[in-house]
Structure 1
């Protein structure tokens, strides 16, 4: 998915400045318009000169990168306000100062809160953006969603090196040891998991044969979020791409997702992609196409029954997203 419109969120902090710079580079690379919005820090009121400062940033970015930039007319002070603005963008670039104290551990990142209302890919920017992204790491689980993550990363950064990473879960190994299974049987199970992951990784990378010269892969073992962070430190990737399952606020609070943990502990930029997202440009195109279709007038009355049964009614439903089965326990 190539972004046709980008929304940058800033609070005028250092991270906010990095986000504006990253969003401007992406807009210059994809020739997409940029919209700037302001989000106040939790518990604070917007600054009195917010509109002036936002317009000043828009003018600077327009002159520096030769792109179309405009500041939002209204001043957003809550995540819900930002979500309404993000509904019309294909990509959101987030730059707010990190929350300190207990709120950072027991609260949810504002970008995750926005994903519940508006399903748009969000790049949470933490580092300076003085050049386009050179390398990125995509966390995959071999489902159909993984293909969309890879395609989105390749589309956003066409010249960047891409590494696909998968972490083999070790949860079943603990169950086997608790059941007093022999160590030899556990080693056989580990080898089966490794070969299964290697085969699925080869299939995934082989589907991008045209870009194999800048596509690599690696496999780890253990907690997915921790293994992704360790792998990113080893490769020094500029961006981590991770998917996010839909979840409620209570679920995110009680059971932290992999995306939320990576977002909390990563020291680099993170692109969080909600499962099942659709570009805003596609939705507007479909809506415009629907309004342009000719209207056919029919006579009132009860509809006539069809002369032949609908063959589609007898087909099994198609499942768009399936999870790959794990190897059986020995």
Structure 2
């Protein structure tokens, strides 16, 4: 999915400046319009000149990159203030300083809440934009969602070197040892897991090699989040693409997801993609189609029903 509209979130910190630069560069690459919005640090009032500073950033970025840039006049004090603009964008570029202390422990980071509320891909920017992304690591688990991650990575940076990465969790081996299973059986189980992962990885890379010069791949054993971060640092990739399963705030608090772990351990930019997300352009078209049917359009007997029409439109 090529992003047709991008929303950059900033708090005027260094993270925010990096996010604005990266968002503008992506818009220049893809010919997409850019919208800027300011989000205040939780519990702190925004600067009195926030609106003027945001408009100044919009003017500068538009002139520097030759793109259309607008700023949201209303200052966002909470995530709810961002939601209308976020739901109209295909991609959110996130540039706010991490929340520290007790608040972050129990409430998590604002970006994590935005993923749950908005379900749009979020690009968390850490590094200054020195040009288009040169290389990326895409974390795959061989589910159907993995294809969506790869496609989005390809679309975001067409010329970047792509490496597909899978980490085989050691959690089941620990359960086997707790059950006093023999080391020989555990070794056989590990080899079977690696064989399965190798076969699936070959299937994935082979299906994409025809579209690019070469798609790299790697398989490791260990904690998926930590191994993804290690692989990113080993390869020098400047972007990690990782999926995020739907979950509640309570589940995220009790069990760290792979995406959250990658954000915590990696040093590069991270693109977090909610499973089952829909592009804003597609969502708006679907809403218009539904509205037409709700206004009373009747399909003659034997005609195409709404569910079939919607499926055909998506295809």
- Partner SS, residue 82 of structure 2: helix
After TM superposition, give the deviation of residue 77 of structure 1 in Å. Answer: 1.3
Is there any run of 5+ residues in structure 1 with no aligned partner, and where? Answer: 313-330
In structure 2, the partner of 1:38 is 38
What is the Cα deviation at residue 186 of structure 1? 1.4
Distance 1:197 1:57, change over 3 A: same
SS at structure 1 position matched to 2:37? strand
CA distance in 1, matches of 2:286, 2:146: 25
| Corresponding residue of 1:53 | 53
The CA distance in 1 between the partners of 2:90 and 2:163, in whole Å, is 24
Matched-pair contact (CA < 8 Å) for 2:92–2:122 = yes
Is residue 84–residue 118 contact of structure 1 (8 Å, CA) maintained in 2? no
1:207 deviates by: 1.4
CA contact (8 A) 1:34 1:68 kept: yes
- TM (normalized to structure 2)? 0.91
Deviation, 1:175, is: 1.7
| Alignment of 1:161 onto 2:161 | yes
Q: Deviations over 1:147-168 (max 9, x none)?
A: 0000000001001011000001
> 1:107: how far off?
3.9
1:212-249 superposed Cα distances (whole Å, 9 cap, x missing partner)? 42411000101110111111110011111111111111
The equivalent residue for 2:247 is: 247
1:82-161 correspondence runs (5 A): 82-161=82-161
Residue 55 to residue 168, structure 1, CA distance change in 2 (3 Å):
same
**SS of structure 2 residue aligned to 1:211:** coil
Work out the CA distance in 1 between the residues paired with 2:179 and 2:97. 47
CA offset at residue 83 of structure 1?
A: 2.2
RMSD of the TM alignment (CA)?
2.2
Structure 2 SS opposite 1:137: strand
Once the two structures are TM-superposed, the CA of residue 104 in structure 1 deviates from its matched residue by 4.3
1:1-330 alignment runs, 5 A limit? 1-289=1-289, 296=297
Greater gyration radius: 1
The runs of 5 or more residues in structure 2 that have no matched partner are 308-315
